[in-house]
Amino acid sequence: MTESTIAGRESSSHPIVLLSYKLRTFVEFFGKNGAYFILPLVGFTMLDVFGRKMTNQSIFGFSIDAQLWLVENVSPMFQSTMLQELEWHVHTALFSLVLGYGFTRNRHVRVDLVRMHLQTKMQAVIELIGTTFFMIPYTVVVLYFCYVFTYDSFITNEISPSLVGMSHRWIIKTVLGVGLIVALVSGIAVWLQSAMVLFGPKDIRFELMTLEWAEDMGEGVEGYKRMVLEGQETDMKKIGKSGRG
């Protein structure tokens, strides 16, 4: 790849390209910050498991009930039901907020035995059709129903069906809606780039999200660069020769 091509990718000023980058920045803001929900998720899970395993345990002749002690002396939040619902809620926040980030980073699982062998233009056609008729419409439909569920939950002040569960269920449903909006934005960003590859100037080059330029194919698979350790290729050839010998 020439230096002019690299510079063109870094400084592309086409308005549609810039818009796709801005949308990706929006998506990555929520994705990178939403990933931190993994920390409370691990913490709540550990507390729940520790509390249940240390219930009615006898150590050195003393009866220990760690969960009961935490509930009575620290907070009712340490009840097993409450901790399990916190796990579900935090997991929902984690999953929904990083959903769009995974799409713009091309980290979702693909089962495309045909697409991966096609050239950039045909891949862009498939990507454009997929986002236009499947990803974006489906996300809009789910977002609509999420709005209905969240609104009903807020109006009725929905709480957990468990007597010791969490209240204000509309909060986590709102977070789910935010995650769907982020996923929708990621779909639009990919759609714009696919359209630019198909209908934009032939000589324009910019950083792609879910596609690869023709000149980049062979360096990796679906955006993943091949990692070749220094000297590894030579060593493999030597091993092959010795094996044949």
For the chain, give every domain's residue range: 3-234
Q: What is the pTM of this model?
A: 0.80
Let me know: does 39 contact 23? Beta carbons within 8 Å.
no
17-61 pLDDT tens trace: 999 999 999 999 999 999 999 999 999 998 888 877 776 666 555
CB-neighbour burial class of residue 1 (10 A; exposed 0-12, middle 13-18, buried 19+): exposed
Question: What is the rounded distance in angstroms from the CA atom of residue 99 to the CA atom of residue 135?
Answer: 12
223-241 pLDDT tens trace: 455 554 445 555 555 555 5
